Amino acid sequence: MKKYILAVLVDNKPGVLTHVSGLISRRAFNIESISAGYTEDEDVTRINIEVSVEDDRELEQVVNQLGKLIDVIKIVNLGLVDSIVRELVLLKVRATKGSLADIRNIVDIFRGNIVDVSPENVVIELTGSQSKINAICEMLEDFEIIEIARTGAIALSRGPIPIKNM
């Protein structure tokens, strides 16, 4: 299985997410994560889809089937161009007076932030590649991770050209 991040520009209209998610389930595509948000153009939403495929033919199917949706304006496979990939994670971790310093050390090494502290826990914010996020999760397991929220991967190509002009 190979993973790619597709950046999908769609019309910012009701029903779009139904169409995209309906297509994914109907065609039985393997989706690792999906996220959506506004863009520099108020009529356009950007959907980031992280997809796992067996081979190039399956990848071609995913792209072409998505491309058929009327509300899809543009699809670029950012896995195939030089791009920056990031994911945001929020972690709620058990913390006592005794363990707080150790936790802070780990967070510093990973260049994360502690964004909330209470007597029994901290909330950590971290952005990075998926492997970095996986690594911090592993490190913090000793302290008990109470809850995880991850956004899934988003990506942007390097250089001045936006995907709508690619």
Partner 1 sequence: MNGAQAILESLKRENVDLVFGYPGGAVLDLYDAVYQARFPHILTRHEQGAVHAADGYARATGKVGVVFATSGPGATNLITGIATANMDSVPLVCFTGQVTNPLIGKDSFQEADIVGITTPITKHNYLVKRASELPRVIKEAFFIARTGRPGPVVIDIAKDVFTTVLDYEYPQKVKLRGYKGDFTGDEGQIRDVVEALGEAKRPVFFIGGGVTLSNQTEVMREIVKNTGIPVVSSLMGLGCIPAKQEGFLGMVGMHGSYAANMAVQKSDLLIGIGVRFDDRVTGKIDAFAPNAKIVHFEVDKAEINKNIFSHYPVIGDLRWSLPIFNEQLQGSGEDYLDRFAKWHKQVVDMDRECPFSYKTNDKVIMPQQLIDTVSGMVDENTIVVTDVGQHQMWAAQFFNSRNPRQFITSGGLGTMGYGLPAALGAKLGCPDKRVVLFTGDGSVMMNCQEMSTAADNNIDIKVVLLHNRVLGMVTQWQRMFYGKRYSQTLLGGKTDYVKLAQAMGMEACRIEKPQELEASLEKALNVKGPMLIDVMLPANEDVLPMVAPGAQLDNMVLGGAEA
Q: Which residues lie near partner 1 (CB under 8 A)?
A: 10-11, 14-15, 18-19, 22-23, 25-26, 43-44, 57, 60-61, 64-65, 67-74
Helix, strand, coil shares of the chain, percent, nearest 5, are 35, 40, 25
**Whole-number minimum distance, CB 58 to partner 1, in Å?**
10
**Whole-number minimum distance, CB 31 to partner 1, in Å?**
16
Q: Given the complex with partner 1, which of 26 and 97 has the nearer CB atom?
A: 26
For residues 153 and 96, what is the distance between their CA atoms, to the nearest angstrom?
Answer: 31
Q: What DSSP character marks residue 52?
A: E
Q: Given the complex with partner 1, which of 62 and 124 has the nearer CB atom?
A: 62
DSSP symbols for 135-166: HHHHHHGGG-EEEEEE---EEEESSS--GGG-
Distance linking the first and last C-alpha atoms of the chain: 26
Q: Given the complex with partner 1, which of 33 and 65 has the nearer CB atom?
A: 65
Q: Given the complex with partner 1, which of 6 and 107 has the nearer CB atom?
A: 6
Q: Which residue from 135, 120, 18 is spatially nearest to 87, judged by alpha carbons? A: 135
**Whole-number minimum distance, CB 44 to partner 1, in Å?**
8
**Whole-number minimum distance, CB 47 to partner 1, in Å?**
13
